[in-house]
Structures are given as structure tokens and as C-alpha cells.
Amino acid sequence: MCFTCRITERMRALTGPVKDPVTPAPWKHHSTIPPLLKMEKKSSILSACCQRQSLLNSAARWTRPYDVFVCHSHELSDTEEAERLVSCLEAPPHNLRCFLSHRDSCPGAAIPSELCQAVQNSHIKVLIITEHFLKDEWCTYVMHQALADGPMSNRMIPLVRNLLHSDFPPELRVYSYTDLNRNTEHCYTMVTRTFLKTLMKLQTDLKA
């Protein structure tokens, strides 16, 4: 063995086997939102929440005892739909005040005057329009009261299920509506948005 080989063997004995160099792992690219955009998004959300809470606490809201009047037929499926809607609206964070005739009417009160007063005491009116709604005389009565309370306004919201537009009551065919068959949660959200827009307009009118 040559002198150089002996030196090499000696060094290996002292330092141990030579390890293969470790190749560093490639950097992983993570899609991240720049801090400035994160702050702007967070600020926008906080601003919207503050505006919503300001509207819910405004004097304009308390000008009427109820926020939402819900009209539906006495068919079980329609009643259950109305109760689901009200349960969503009355839950946090909005905690809206809803009127359901079978739940909130006073025993012994005259039905026409009770319904008429409830319509007038509510900021917006939601009509759950089904084939049973069209056959219910009290639904027709409430619809006419709602039309009289705010004709051609955005205070009345038709929620439609299993009906063609041609089957709508003629009085409602000029109104925009939402289809419960397509996206129920979206319909519920639109009710809340409409209520908040109504409050905003009312608040502006009160300040004028």
C-alpha cells in the first residue's frame, strides 16, 4: 500500500466513514395572502359587522314592534317552512323579532284586526307562496294588507316553492322573488339583507 493510501485509511479510522452530502430539500411554495391584504380584508369584515350592529341598535328599528311578519298557509309543510325561517332569523347574531300568527296572535282577538295590526307593526313582510297559499283566504287577506302598507316597496318578499311565475297572484308578478327550491339558506339570507337595507333607508329618512 502506498503512503497516500495509508494516510487515507488512517484518516477514515479516526473520523469514521465519509457520509454522502445531504441535498437540502427544495423550498415549498405556499400560497399566502400578503399581510396588507389580510389586514384590509379583516378591516372590511369588522366594518361590516359594526355597521350591521349599528343598524340593529338604531332608533329606526324600534319604530315598529316587529322586524319581520311571516305569512304562510296552515298546511303543515308551509307551517314547518315558516318555523325554520323564523328560527334562522331569530338566532344570533341578528336576533330579529318575528311575528307568526299561530304563535304570536292573542287568543280571543279578531283575526282580521289582529293580522292587519301585525302587518302594520312589522318592518318587512315575508310571504311563503305555495299552492296552499293561493287557496288560503287569510293569506290573500294578509297579502292585500301588505300591499297596502307598502305598495311597490322592497318591504315585501315573496318566497316561492313549487310554483311557476304564471301561477303567481297577479298582484305579485311585478315583484322580485326568491325560489325556495333552489337554495333555502340563500333565501333566508336575502330576507335578513332586505331587512337591513330597509333599516338603512329608514334611518336615512329619519335623519333627513
- CB of 178 closer than 8 Å to CB of 160: yes
122-129/66-71 β-pairing: parallel
Domain interval for residue 104? 64-207
What's the grid cell of residue 174?
311585478
Q: Is residue 104 part of a domain?
A: yes
User: How many domains does one find in the chain?
Assistant: 1
Q: What is the pLDDT of residue 76?
A: 96
> pTM (2 decimals)?
0.76
The percentage of the chain sitting over the pLDDT mark of 90, rounded to a whole number, equals 56
pLDDT in tens, 15-43: 555 555 555 555 454 555 566 665 655 55
Q: Where are the beta strands (DSSP E) in the chain?
A: 66-71, 98-100, 122-129, 156-160, 178-179
In the predicted model, what is the mean pLDDT of the chain? Answer: 84
- Whichever domain contains 187, its CATH number is 3.40.50.10140
pLDDT in tens, 154-176: 889 999 999 998 899 999 988 88
Bridge partner residues of 106 (DSSP): none
